[in-house]
């Protein structure tokens, strides 16, 4: 019976995978170690840029550990970004390949949501500002509400936030609690966060494998430089 979900997340260099039976996480891997909770990745910075190559081996380890067979896989869920262009592109490609290989649907979920629902220990109910580095002194951010059932919902649209604005939004009386890499609550998005959102993810329907791409949030740096140099958009 198809009861299992493969989840993967690659919006930051700390990618992750999880295997779910129903909504229960039965195996998981974090590439480069946990972020947050007092544990930091050795080397920091962009040292993990190549970890996208480890997504498939990590998934294979989870499947071997649990003894789950291919005919028991019901779906694949991928963190959709925003975030690192290269890491998201790798994770998206792996997710599409898995969906095609297993003959199942692919679903997508905001990586900003997975920061909140994937945090361990679990966050207290309340309102949070989930952010990820957008480079150039800016952050991708969205307000999220965490319920008592650990299900998070997004309030409003994702937008770019300057570093100065981020300081003004957090801390102090009435300020939002900011969650994200190197923030007040130092957590990366994690694939295990899919477990709390699975019902709503499935209700939202699968993506079109031929057309879907992650939500990069902005153009890749290389494309920005090319277009600035040539004075025109990069041909698709």
What is the model's pLDDT at position 43? Answer: 29
Tell me whether residue 171 is in a domain: no
Tell me whether residue 152 is in a domain: no
What is the model's pLDDT at position 228? Answer: 66
What is the model's pLDDT at position 176? Answer: 84
Tell me whether residue 179 is in a domain: no
Of 90, 105, 89, 91, whose CA–CA distance to 18 is shortest? Answer: 91
- Taking a C-beta distance cutoff of 8 angstroms, is the pair 58, 31 a contact? yes
What is the model's pLDDT at position 221? Answer: 59
Burial of 61 (0-12, 13-18, 19+ CB in 10 A): middle
> Residue 175 has what DSSP assignment?
P
Tell me whether residue 225 is in a domain: yes
| CATH assignment of the domain containing 104 | 3.30.420.40
What is the model's pLDDT at position 52? Answer: 62
Tell me whether residue 178 is in a domain: no
Tell me whether residue 43 is in a domain: yes
What is the model's pLDDT at position 33? Answer: 55
pLDDT under 70 in the chain at which residues?
33-52, 171-175, 218-230, 233-236
- Number of structural domains the chain divides into: 1
The residues facing 142 across adjacent strands are: 130
Tell me whether residue 154 is in a domain: no
Parent domain of 100: 4-118+188-230
- What's the rounded Cα separation, in Å, for the pair 128 and 137? 21
Tell me whether residue 182 is in a domain: no
């Amino acid at each position: 019976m198809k009861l299992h979900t493969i989840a993967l997340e690659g919006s930051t260099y700390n990618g992750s995978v999880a295997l779910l039976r129903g909504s229960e996480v039965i195996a998981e891997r974090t590439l480069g170690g946990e972020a947050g909770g007092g544990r930091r990745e050795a080397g920091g910075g962009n040292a993990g840029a190549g970890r996208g190559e480890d997504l498939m081996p990590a998934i294979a380890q989870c499947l071997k550990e649990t003894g789950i067979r291919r005919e028991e896989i019901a779906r694949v869920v991928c963190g959709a970004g925003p975030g690192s262009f290269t890491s998201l592109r790798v994770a998206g490609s792996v997710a599409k390949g898995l969906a095609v290989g297993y003959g199942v649907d692919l679903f997508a979920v905001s990586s900003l949501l997975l920061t909140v629902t994937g945090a361990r220990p679990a966050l207290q109910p309340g309102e949070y500002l989930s952010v990820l580095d957008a480079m150039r002194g800016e952050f991708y951010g969205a307000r999220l509400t965490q319920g008592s059932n650990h299900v998070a919902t997004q309030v409003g649209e994702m937008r770019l936030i300057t570093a100065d604005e981020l300081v003004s939004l957090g801390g102090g009386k009435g300020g939002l609690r900011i969650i994200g890499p190197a923030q007040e609550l130092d957590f990366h998005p994690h694939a295990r966060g899919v477990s709390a959102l699975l019902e709503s993810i499935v209700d939202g329907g699968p993506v079109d494998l031929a057309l879907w791409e992650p939500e990069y949030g902005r153009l890749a740096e290389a494309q920005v430089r090319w277009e600035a140099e040539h004075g025109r958009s990069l041909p698709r």
